[in-house]
Chains A and B, each alone.
Chain A
Amino acid sequence: MRISLDRMKYNQEGILLGINNEISQHLAGMGVRAGKKIKMITREPLKGPVVILVDHASISLGMGIADKLTVEVDE
């Protein structure tokens, strides 16, 4: 099933699908790239940032970016 990253549940794992070019320039340096296995570990309240785990590194993403990323999840 494909959902946007901001709709992932706690501890849910997924594979990151394509990222549009503009955002990917922002994220590639932090190791967030298409095909990466990610895990959602925290979501801050009041539309706060989402924290995901990529290759043992936790990365916090603002909602404005998180809702533009698509993730393939089980279910």
Chain B
Amino acid sequence: MKVLLMGHPNVGKSVIFNRLTGANVVSSNYPGTTVDYTQGCMRVFDRDIEIRDVPGTFSLEAKDKAEEVAVKMLMENPDAKIICVIDASKLERGLYLALEIIERGFPLVLALNMWDVALDKNTVVDIQKLEAILGIPVVPTVAISGEGISTLVEKLIDVEPVDILDISNAIKVSRMMTSPGCAGCKGCSLS
């Protein structure tokens, strides 16, 4: 099984990689530290898993060399499972990349990293609702202390790809349930 660690620059992909593999990849407190990929291995429930630490990218339309590496790696590994790492305190902008990857048919687990920072900033994320809407596992993690990493691996083992249309329908339904009256979401045309 192949696993790619993807996400924005400076969200902690390399720290998670080090946690998973016991390696000691350079990580620093500024974006763009990883420009090439590193590969590692781990063994979970007697299965060998190959993990790659991918350079950070904002979207799948590459704008610089490091992003090109990231997009190329994704395209060259169509059978890979993805851990998409998101800065929990900047959830919305990270979801853009996650949805792009889901749209291309990859099975994906969402890691809401820097969960401790998000709590400090009073950011509240309803994980259960997010999981219900996206149909994928969402795991809060604190990579530097190791919190949530084992849950992340457990969920990764049986993750399946989801249809982007199911997500778009789930969002419409969720809007209908939370808004009084017509939200103009055209959800009523759903069968």
On A, residues with C-beta under 8 Å from B are: 25-26, 28-31, 54-57
Given contacts A55-B90, A56-B90, A57-B90, contact A31 B96 (CB under 8 A): yes
Q: Is B110 an interface residue (CB 8 A)?
A: no
Are A31 and B93 touching (Cβ within 8 A)?
yes
On B, residues with C-beta under 8 Å from A are: 8, 57-59, 61, 63, 89-90, 92-93, 96-97, 121, 123
A-B contacts besides A28-B59, A28-B96, 10 pairs, CB < 8 Å: A25-B61, A26-B63, A29-B8, A29-B58, A29-B59, A29-B61, A29-B97, A54-B93, A55-B90, A57-B93
**A30 to B, closest residue via Cβ:** B58
Q: Which of B96, B121, B123 contacts A29 (CB 8 A)?
A: B96
Per the bound structure, the CA–CA distance linking A9 and B56 in Å amounts to 32
Are B61 and A55 touching (Cβ within 8 A)?
no
Per the bound structure, the CA–CA distance linking A29 and B90 in Å amounts to 12
| Contact residues of B: prevailing secondary structure | loop
Chain A contacts for B8, CB-based, 8 A: 29
Are A56 and B59 touching (Cβ within 8 A)?
no
Given contacts A25-B59, A25-B61, contact A31 B97 (CB under 8 A): no
Chain A contacts for B92, CB-based, 8 A: 31, 55
Per the bound structure, the CA–CA distance linking A57 and B96 in Å amounts to 15
**B67 to A, closest residue via Cβ:** A29
26 contacting pairs across A/B (C-beta < 8 A): A25-B61, A26-B61, A26-B63, A28-B59, A28-B96, A29-B8, A29-B57, A29-B58, A29-B59, A29-B61, A29-B93, A29-B97, A30-B58, A31-B90, A31-B92, A31-B93, A54-B93, A55-B90, A55-B92, A55-B93, A56-B89, A56-B90, A56-B121, A56-B123, A57-B90, A57-B93
Per the bound structure, the CA–CA distance linking A28 and B96 in Å amounts to 8
Per the bound structure, the CA–CA distance linking A29 and B97 in Å amounts to 6
**B63 to A, closest residue via Cβ:** A26
Report B15 CB to chain A, min CB distance, Å.
19
Chain B contacts for A28, CB-based, 8 A: 59, 96
**A26 to B, closest residue via Cβ:** B63
Per the bound structure, the CA–CA distance linking A38 and B57 in Å amounts to 22
Report B185 CB to chain A, min CB distance, Å.
15
Per the bound structure, the CA–CA distance linking A26 and B61 in Å amounts to 8
Per the bound structure, the CA–CA distance linking A31 and B92 in Å amounts to 7
